[in-house]
Structure 1
């Protein structure tokens, strides 16, 4: 067989066959998985013929540009070829280490097809369900990335430098992003994988319930959920328990009887795949191998006997609440700490009918100044933060529809999430003080039924949007704009009834979320009601001089003037006295602290 990395088994004629797919970690090689492959062949040596497929993946070079979705697609193609050439396999085992564990989980999910209601990435949209997916018996993850990595002071200096380099390349030069860039916390690939797994589990639970219900009409759909085993090192110096165990998706999914968490004593990130001693501790290496073999062949009772309760690792995650049917995100902007979000959430709950349980999700990313807000990669990090929150909400409220109220940067988070995360869906969406481009395409998510209704509140004196985001809209490289001041184009011309806009709430940037508007916000989120034309607090016109000034894109000229003045000053600073330099630095610090960071 010509597929690189495939090794046929040596079992006796007529023995049932097993295919083990083994995926190495980031910056590692197929050879590094030698102990794992050998132990896998040994596990069934007396009863089965075990074929192993250990491919060398693109990310064995740490900075190689290979998107995670493309890596998954390539592995799927190779497996398809293997199962066509080889005689039918009795079962298939997926094994992955580190980044390879994340890839292994997604390979299975894509092979299993998209569950109802789940929208996958463009790369996978034409992928068909594989018959071999139903033969996947177990998925064994060693030292896996589950939620995704993030830069943390707890990382070693070596990993911190490496992740910072990968993050810089990915954000500044996305075409050359290394695979590990797609595995960061909240990144589209990671969030989509987590949402895919949640949707898959819901599908399997529904199929299992249908099988148990004899009154079901017609033949029941088959339920198939492989056993998922996570092996984590007790001293992993790369992945924290917070990342190793996706507590909201795996460990808190209603007591999943097919999920097992097993600890490996005296094991760090790299030694998790070493079953022969390299540091003199033969006992620890043998113990790792023993637990790995149980993960491969043990019964659920065997696994339960050596497993750890994942809920013991993190205790602040609430149990899933299946009664909640509606949940609203209320997300603040860049210039406040989000205290008002709790008041809006309170109004939503007050206006809601008693028959429906309505929950509010009001997380905060803290104060976010204007200067870093301009940088695209900083904004995208906030989107990733939000999508991590979104996955948590979907896991906690599995039967809920989700609504959204956003102000300022909060509007950007939802708008960008709808572009980058196909599985992100909302029912009613309200924007106020929007910093999104006026040409944003709302018709697409509405046509895809990922948004049911949208309302944009435009202020009469929103100088923040008028002077900065609107000025940047002329540059296509910026996904910012003046929709909070000029409105959305699709709301003006041939707008479908699902896209609404209300002009003009009296006031500046925060007018749309002021106390006087809380009832209007709640009415829209709960019942889809648009504020009437005679609603209190609205006027017919915007401030004339501000509208004229915003049309000149004056902010760009001011910024250009600052650069022209500051750069020569820096060049000439060497000729100034030390006290003059100190004075300039002091003035600059004061301007940053009391002016720029308060815009």
Structure 2
């Protein structure tokens, strides 16, 4: 990835470097008011306003843009040294998506770069320690999401955004803006990396003062979207009156003069004197030692999670562990959504947003996980796609994860300590549906039959429990809650009572697993029924219906839509 306009505007003394990055569908020219304000206020600062591919349908990788920005700043620092001196301070400024990019560049420069592409050196960059201030202009720090209409976003604009986001999502368009969605790997990893830096007491110098300037009528960013930034940091929240998301960088006119003054205060005011004028209800709980996420599966509202939580609290009380249980769910998830990988990933993004919020609220806590069915997919996908996240212990029931999932890799990287996997004796759901994907794509599939066959890696700390008597929900019954609670809180020896276990698997489940592809072909034949049933019926004069290719195609399309919407409810 190459940026444009990467040569700084050189000032006389050049004691500081100010880097400003524009937002989506914009360019460095849209930051001209910011440039002029900085030039006048800091005459001895070099100005670096690079351009990156930010078009409406840009498929640029935000990680590659970040790495290019890291190198660009590093080159500017080296160029200053060749002129006979060094920068005393670096100021990072970002608008909207640009705010994410400058924060990501900063955490990469400080060594929190687990998700770098490999093109960037893994070692910290020397310039990272020079950053003295970060200013975010309507920064989309939590990413963007359109599940609910923002308070100041008009309904027509919200509907248009929703329609575009669906098109981008399904046709793999606009990789850049999709990468900045709430809970997306680029965003969630950044939030985790930021919190890791805040937690690092040995970091010298610490994370600099960060100022978020947010308009009072911003229709994209909510004031509650910055929990992770203000967690333990020198964070300042300043409101900008009569300002929306786009015009926070517009300093023209009377309203612009007010915006300019607020921006200059954020840029120049001493860190000890600048104060927030916008209060956000947030308080961390550093005394909590353990957080346990309990996640339900498909076709399930998660009622069992509410019954498991009190048992975990009781177990924790006996062992004197201060624990919090998170049982918030992602809603009813039908089979049609489960089959489609983009739909599954929506829930993963939601889960990672929940994870980062918990990480900020409970800064000293270890994170553990209990999941059933699709809930197990959330954790496995998080470990595979979000290299900055880490968990203490995990419990799987009715797992739909590929049996070849590389647990040893994540355990060796200290991203998981132990996992307990309950394998049922008669889990027809896992034996058929996710097993089909595993058969088709082998180890490349992110779905599989681990709840029916167990994992290939069975050495401790991967503990297999075979076999739970019953079907898909055999392990998430009240009689087994004590075992789950003990294991997830640290007891490797926790095991179900004998009445819950059986020696082998039921024959129907075994045969279903062996012939799962028969079910796949039957499902495909059913879905395409008009394509073969109508011609066949006409051939044998079962009914008199004259058809053409166009009418048959329309009938098939209508049938497929009907099947899809029926599956959305089952």
TM-score, scaled to structure 2: 0.88
Contact 1:120 1:192 in 2 (8 A): yes
RMSD over aligned CA atoms reads 2.9
Number of the residue aligned with 1:261:
237
- Tell me how far apart the structure 2 counterparts of residues 570 and 526 of structure 1 sit (CA, whole Å): 58
Number of the residue aligned with 2:72:
78
Number of the residue aligned with 1:212:
none
1:376-412 deviation per Cα after TM superposition (whole angstroms, max 9, x unaligned): 0010010000000101111111111111110000000
Instruction: Compute the displacement of 1:442 (Å).
Output: 1.0
- Tell me how far apart the structure 1 counterparts of residues 397 and 162 of structure 2 sit (CA, whole Å): 35
Number of the residue aligned with 2:327:
362
Number of the residue aligned with 2:471:
508
- Tell me how far apart the structure 1 counterparts of residues 336 and 497 of structure 2 sit (CA, whole Å): 38
Equivalent of 2:212 in 230, 234, 242 = 230
Number of the residue aligned with 2:62:
68
Change (3 A) 1:323 1:330: same
Instruction: Compute the displacement of 1:4 (Å).
Output: 2.5
Number of the residue aligned with 2:260:
289
Structure 1 residue 300 corresponds to structure 2 residue 271: yes
Number of the residue aligned with 1:54:
49
Change (3 A) 1:546 1:234: same
Deviates more, 1:292-301 or 1:528-537: 528-537
- Tell me how far apart the structure 1 counterparts of residues 94 and 559 of structure 2 sit (CA, whole Å): 55
Contact 1:166 1:180 in 2 (8 A): no
- Tell me how far apart the structure 1 counterparts of residues 388 and 250 of structure 2 sit (CA, whole Å): 37
Change (3 A) 1:475 1:125: farther
1:249-292 deviation per Cα after TM superposition (whole angstroms, max 9, x unaligned): 134x25x4x2111111111122111112xxxxx21010011111
* Residues 436-455 of structure 1 mapped to structure 2, 5 A cutoff: 436-455=401-420
Contact 1:429 1:455 in 2 (8 A): yes
Structure 1 residue 37 corresponds to structure 2 residue 35: yes
- Tell me how far apart the structure 2 counterparts of residues 143 and 569 of structure 1 sit (CA, whole Å): 57
Equivalent of 1:520 in 471, 475, 483 = 483
**Unaligned 5+ residue runs, structure 2?**
539-543, 548-555
Report the number of matched residues: 542
Change (3 A) 1:341 1:375: same
Give SS of 1:327's match: strand
Number of the residue aligned with 1:484:
451
Instruction: Compute the displacement of 1:62 (Å).
Output: 2.3
- Tell me how far apart the structure 2 counterparts of residues 472 and 3 of structure 1 sit (CA, whole Å): 43
- Tell me how far apart the structure 2 counterparts of residues 76 and 440 of structure 1 sit (CA, whole Å): 33
Change (3 A) 1:133 1:347: same
Change (3 A) 1:149 1:54: same
Contact 2:483 2:495 in 1 (8 A): no
Structure 1 residue 275 corresponds to structure 2 residue 275: no
Change (3 A) 1:112 1:293: same
1:295-340 deviation per Cα after TM superposition (whole angstroms, max 9, x unaligned): 1101235522xx32331xxx4x5x2111111111111111211121
Number of the residue aligned with 2:510:
547
Give SS of 2:143's match: coil
- Tell me how far apart the structure 2 counterparts of residues 235 and 569 of structure 1 sit (CA, whole Å): 57
Contact 2:6 2:49 in 1 (8 A): yes
Change (3 A) 1:591 1:110: closer
Number of the residue aligned with 2:223:
241
- Tell me how far apart the structure 2 counterparts of residues 592 and 91 of structure 1 sit (CA, whole Å): 57
Contact 2:129 2:205 in 1 (8 A): no
Contact 2:483 2:496 in 1 (8 A): no
Deviates more, 1:466-475 or 1:381-390: 466-475
Instruction: Compute the displacement of 1:235 (Å).
Output: 1.7
Contact 1:275 1:286 in 2 (8 A): yes
**Unaligned 5+ residue runs, structure 1?**
208-220, 277-281, 577-583
- Tell me how far apart the structure 2 counterparts of residues 391 and 270 of structure 1 sit (CA, whole Å): 27
Instruction: Compute the displacement of 1:545 (Å).
Output: 2.5
Contact 1:329 1:362 in 2 (8 A): yes
Contact 1:294 1:302 in 2 (8 A): no
Contact 2:14 2:46 in 1 (8 A): no
Change (3 A) 1:526 1:301: closer
- Tell me how far apart the structure 1 counterparts of residues 102 and 534 of structure 2 sit (CA, whole Å): 52
Contact 2:108 2:124 in 1 (8 A): yes
Give SS of 1:303's match: coil
Give SS of 2:489's match: helix
Instruction: Compute the displacement of 1:123 (Å).
Output: 4.0
Contact 1:62 1:178 in 2 (8 A): no
* Residues 378-527 of structure 1 mapped to structure 2, 5 A cutoff: 378-476=343-441, 478-491=445-458, 495=459, 497-527=460-490
- Tell me how far apart the structure 2 counterparts of residues 226 and 396 of structure 1 sit (CA, whole Å): 20
Equivalent of 1:26 in 6, 24, 27 = 24
Contact 2:404 2:455 in 1 (8 A): yes
Give SS of 2:217's match: coil
* Residues 566-585 of structure 1 mapped to structure 2, 5 A cutoff: 566-567=530-531
Number of the residue aligned with 2:553:
none
Change (3 A) 1:232 1:448: same
Contact 2:17 2:87 in 1 (8 A): yes
Instruction: Compute the displacement of 1:354 (Å).
Output: 4.3
Change (3 A) 1:535 1:298: same
Contact 1:26 1:99 in 2 (8 A): yes
Change (3 A) 1:292 1:443: same
Give SS of 2:475's match: helix
- Tell me how far apart the structure 1 counterparts of residues 463 and 515 of structure 2 sit (CA, whole Å): 27
Structure 1 residue 180 corresponds to structure 2 residue 177: yes
